[in-house]
Amino acid sequence: MSKIKSSFFCQQCGYESTKWLGKCPACQQWNSFVEEIRHKETKQQTAGTLWKQDDHNSYNGVTRLQDISISEESRIISPDLELNRVLGGGIVAGSIVLVAGEPGIGKSTLFLQIGLQLQQTRVLYVSGEESEQQIRMRADRLPFSSEEFYLLTETNTQIIFQEIKKLKPQLVIIDSIQTLHTNFIESSPGSVSQIRECASELQRFAKETSTPVFLIGHITKDGAIAGPKILEHMVDTVLQFEGDRHYAYRILRTLKNRFGSTSELGIYEMAANGMKGVLNPSDILLSHKEDQLSGVTVAATIEGMRPFLIEVQSLVTPSVYGTPQRTASGFDLRRLQLLLAVLEKRGGFQFGMKDVFLNIAGGLKVEDPAIDLAVLCALLSSYDDTTIPHTVCLAGEVGLSGEIRSVNRIEQRIAEAEKLGFEKMIISRYNQKGMSKATPGIEIIPVSRVEDVYRILF
C-alpha cells in the first residue's frame, strides 16, 4: 500500500513543517508556506537507480583519508573559451552545474550551441519547455552541427533515466529543472518538493556515473534563483547569466564553484547566429568617436579576474522643475548621490539645482568602487562643459572627505589601459606603495585629493 503524506514547505528556502506556519523559522519570511501532498512507493524501484545496469546496490564503506588516492580531475574542454573560464578550465566529470537567468536572456540558446560544438562528446539535451521542432528551428540558425547530439522532450524523470540508460551520454543538459517531475511525489512541477527530489536524483546520477549535468533554472521577480535554497547547495557550480535583453552583451558570472575560482566571468555578444564570446571587452565597450564631448570619461574596472575599460557618460543640466532629478543606469544611485555630496561639500560645486544623469555605456552594471574617480570627473566635465582628453584613463575610490583611496590589482588595470593605447592614467597616490618597480609604458599621475584631480584635468 502506498503512503500519502501532506507537508507544508516554505517557497523561499524549502523548510518543511507538518503544519502551516505564518512565519518561516529558517528564512524569516511571512506567508510563504504552501501545502504539498507527497505520495511515496514503498516497494517499487526509485528513480535514482533506473540508470544502473543491474540491481546490485553499491555500498561505500569507511576509508582512511591517507588511503584515498587523488589525481587531477578529468575535464571536458569546450570550444567555448568563456565557458571554460567560468568553470575553472573545463567541464569536470561528474559535476552538476546550475545555470540561472532571466527569461529570454539566452540560456537555452547558449547551451544548445555548446552541445552542438562538442562534436566528439555524446550530448543528451532534455527539454521540458519546447518541442522538438522548435529546438530544430533554433539549431538551424546556429553555425554548428554534431552527429553526437541527441534530443529528448520529456519531463518525467523515470522516462529520462530509462533513455539515459540506453544512450549512455557523456554530457546531459536539462532545460529546465523547474519543469521536471517524479512519480514518487504527488505535487505539481516547480514545487519545492519536486525540485528538490528531481535535483537529488540527477545529483546521484552525476556522481555515480561521472557524467556532468547542466541544469538550466529560472529566477524569481526579485532576481534570486527560483526554488528552494537547498538547490544551490546540492550543485557543484552555480552560474548566473546576466544582461539586458535590449543590449547585445551578456555576462556569465560564477556564484559558486567547487572546482575553480568564483571570481571569473565570461562575456558574450548576442548575434543573429548565436552567442559569440568576447575576448577583448574593452575594445567593444569603448566608443570610437572622433569628436570630443564633455561628460565622458574612461574607467579601468575589474569584473571577477578580468580587467577591462568602460566608458562613463554623464549629463548635468539646470533643473526645470523644483526637485532636481538623479538618474543612474548601470551604477548605484545611492553611490551617485554620495559623490554629488562630496563635490558640494569638498569642492564647492552647486549641484542642488541641477539634473544629473549617469550612464555606463554598453548596458553593464558595475559595482567596482574604482570607477568612483571616473564618475566624479565625468560629472565635473559636464558641469563645466569641458572635455577630458580621450587618452586619459582613471581608477580610484573616492572617500567622504574628498580623498582618493587606493584600489586593488592596480597593475592589471594599468596593463589593460596601456594595451589599448592610453597615454595617461590617474590613480591614487597610495597605490604606488604596492606597485612593482617596473616602469609601465604609460604616464602615471598620482593624486590624493579631489582638488588635485580638478587642477590637473580642468
Task: Give the residue among 258, 278, 227, 282 at the shortest CA–CA distance from 413.
Answer: 282
Cα–Cα distance for residue pair 412/398, rounded to 1 Å: 20
Q: Is 443 annotated as a binding residue?
A: no
Task: Give the residue among 362, 389, 388, 364 at the shortest CA–CA distance from 377.
Answer: 388
Q: Is 107 annotated as a binding residue?
A: yes
- The CA-atom distances, in angstroms, between 47 and each of 125, 217, 236, 270, 348 are 19, 21, 21, 38, 70
Q: Is 190 annotated as a binding residue?
A: no
Q: Is 108 annotated as a binding residue?
A: yes
CA-derived radius of gyration, the chain: 27
Helix (H) or strand (E) holding 192: helix 192-209
Task: Give the residue among 31, 164, 128, 144 at the shortest CA–CA distance from 79.
Answer: 144
Task: Give the residue among 328, 381, 384 at the shortest CA–CA distance from 356.
Answer: 328
Q: Is 101 annotated as a binding residue?
A: yes
Q: Is 103 annotated as a binding residue?
A: yes
Residue 326 CB burial class (10 angstroms; 0-12, 13-18, ≥19)? middle
Q: Is 256 annotated as a binding residue?
A: no
308 in Cβ contact with 419 (< 8 Å): no
Cα–Cα distance for residue pair 127/200, rounded to 1 Å: 18
DSSP 271-287: ETTEEEE-S-HHHHHS-
Task: Give the residue among 150, 160, 212, 149 at the shortest CA–CA distance from 51.
Answer: 160
Cα–Cα distance for residue pair 406/365, rounded to 1 Å: 22
Residue 446 CB burial class (10 angstroms; 0-12, 13-18, ≥19)? middle
Strand 306-318 and strand 296-303: the pairing is antiparallel
**Phi-psi bin for 16: left (phi > 0), alpha (psi -120 to 50), beta?**
beta
Q: What are phi and psi of 253, to 5 degrees?
A: -110, 140
Q: Is 102 annotated as a binding residue?
A: yes
What's the chain's length in residues?
458
The distance in angstroms from the start CA to the end CA of the chain is: 83
**Hey, how many other C-beta atoms are within 10 angstroms of the C-beta on 448?**
15
Tell me the binding residues for ATP.
101-108
Tell me the binding residues.
101-108
